[in-house]
Amino acid sequence: MVAVLAQLAPSVDNRLRKIFPIPAPVIKRMGLGWYIGREAEDYLSEDLLGVQQSEIDAYAAAAEELMSMYEKATHHVLENKRFKELGIPKNARKLIRLSWERRLEQPFLYGRFDFAGGLYGAPVKLIEFNADTATILPETVVIQAEQLKENNLSFGQFNSLQQDLTRRLAHIRQQNANRQPYMLFSTLGYAEDQLNADVVARAAEEAGFQVQHMRLESVIFSPDEGLYTELGQDMFYEHFFWFKLVPWEFIAYEEPELMDILTELAERDLIVFTNPAYTLLWQSKAMMKILWELYPNHPLLLKTSDKEDDFYGQPYVEKVIFGREGENVKVVGENGYTKERNNGDFGQYPKIYQQFVELPKDSRGNYYQAGLYYTDRASALSFRREDGYIIDEDAEFVGHFIAEGE
């Protein structure tokens, strides 16, 4: 999650609008009490960032074009069996192929493109694609809209993600009309993950699904019968649709037996994954290396390689292919010296190297990264900011408003 712009953009100071924080009782009524407290106050910025409609259009157009490029690159990877380069273990490959073959019945639900640029006419550049288990949903869907309301601001906002998730899930239900509309939502039990899953679950209910939540460890996976949850003594309920806020790479690497069962369930057509297995290809940052090969010098892409020597004398960012929250990232200057680095828990994965450019910045030294959520179309925009090059778990969430004028 690092940034890019060939030239320094103007300061975003004149785009920032100070707001009052949402009162704690209001946040509690929204079911988002997790965001109350000192840490949450540091996390939810008291600024909104103004974005021109033309800039939103540029972000949306970039997402549309990139989605098409990712789909074409997926065909290329499958036809040429380039799984190893993407860090895809053997136990995940069959399910990835099968999910891609069935993508009409099990289409992509949502993800988030992280972008640099886009403001003041700077070119939009892809930093990475969070295609599987993208988070920051409550902030984007609920909180930034509520910030406008609580501050009596009548500005518009590019924010149709809740409606688009509902429409997308209704489409998935229609594509699988022969199945009972029971959907199970699973996380690893973290409160923040549950809040993100709740956003999708609310959309599923609006789309006509019967919804249940269960931590992954409590779910029963039967290769012969399907996916079950135990609600009481000898009481089981079968589920045909599964949304998991559990990364595919975690299952493939850390839970190989579960991966084998899920593959068997898919082969028997006993389960619909609402975040399909082929998103693991897109989640791998090594896919950006393949995109650069297929679309060299494309204006939306940054030069990306698995060879550090390709950036000799140039600033670059070193990332692990399955890193998250800005962990295991290093920023290197053109002189070869490390400018910034984050350690983390993902150092066992292979690395890729990506062209570096600075993100838009304010006069206080904060860098701004855009997040564009995509369903079957561009659906919402929000920002994060950090007082360093690496946008990590300590970054602030920054809502936006549509500013008038050019």
Residue 16, Cβ density class (10 Å: 0-12 exposed, 13-18 middle, ≥19 buried): buried
Task: Give pLDDT, residue 233.
Answer: 55
How many beta carbons lie within 10 A of that of residue 256, not counting itself? 14
271-283 pLDDT, tens per residue? 999 999 999 999 9
pLDDT over threshold 90, residue 42:
no
Task: Give pLDDT, residue 73.
Answer: 98
Task: Give pLDDT, residue 224.
Answer: 82
In degrees, rounded to 5, the angle at the alpha carbon of residue 345 between the alpha carbons of residues 342 and 348 is 105
For residues 84-91, give the mean pLDDT.
98
pLDDT over threshold 50, residue 34:
yes
Rg (CA), the chain: 21
Chain mean position to CA 319: 16
How many beta carbons lie within 10 A of that of residue 338, not counting itself? 10
Task: Give pLDDT, residue 227.
Answer: 83
Separation between Cα atoms, residue 326 and residue 345, nearest integer Å: 11
pLDDT over threshold 60, residue 8:
no
The answer to which of 3-17, 44-58, 79-93, 218-232 has the lowest mean pLDDT is 3-17
Q: Please provide the average confidence, as pLDDT, over all residues in the chain.
A: 93
pLDDT over threshold 70, residue 333:
yes
pLDDT over threshold 50, residue 6:
no
H helices, E strands: number in the chain? 12, 19
C-alpha distances (whole Å) from 104 to each of 10, 126, 276, 283, 401 are 44, 26, 11, 20, 35
pLDDT level of residue 5 (50, 70, 90 thresholds): very low
pLDDT level of residue 228 (50, 70, 90 thresholds): confident
pLDDT over threshold 60, residue 98:
yes
Q: Which of 21, 56, 139 is nearest to 385 (CA)?
A: 139
340-373 pLDDT, tens per residue? 999 988 989 999 999 998 899 999 999 999 999 9
Give Dmax (Cα) for the chain.
Answer: 65
pLDDT level of residue 223 (50, 70, 90 thresholds): confident
Is residue 389 within 8 Å of 378, Cβ to Cβ?
no
Bridge-based pairing of strands 16-18 and 378-386 is unpaired
Task: Give pLDDT, residue 347.
Answer: 86
Q: Which two tokens stand for residue 146?
A: 């509520």
Separation between Cα atoms, residue 118 and residue 130, nearest integer Å: 19
pLDDT level of residue 36 (50, 70, 90 thresholds): confident
pLDDT over threshold 60, residue 398:
yes
pLDDT over threshold 90, residue 4:
no
Query: What global pTM score does this model have?
Result: 0.95
pLDDT level of residue 78 (50, 70, 90 thresholds): very high
Separation between Cα atoms, residue 406 and residue 404, nearest integer Å: 7
Percentage of the chain with pLDDT > 90?
Answer: 86
170-208 pLDDT, tens per residue? 999 999 999 999 999 999 999 999 999 999 999 999 999
Domain boundary assignment for the chain? 13-403
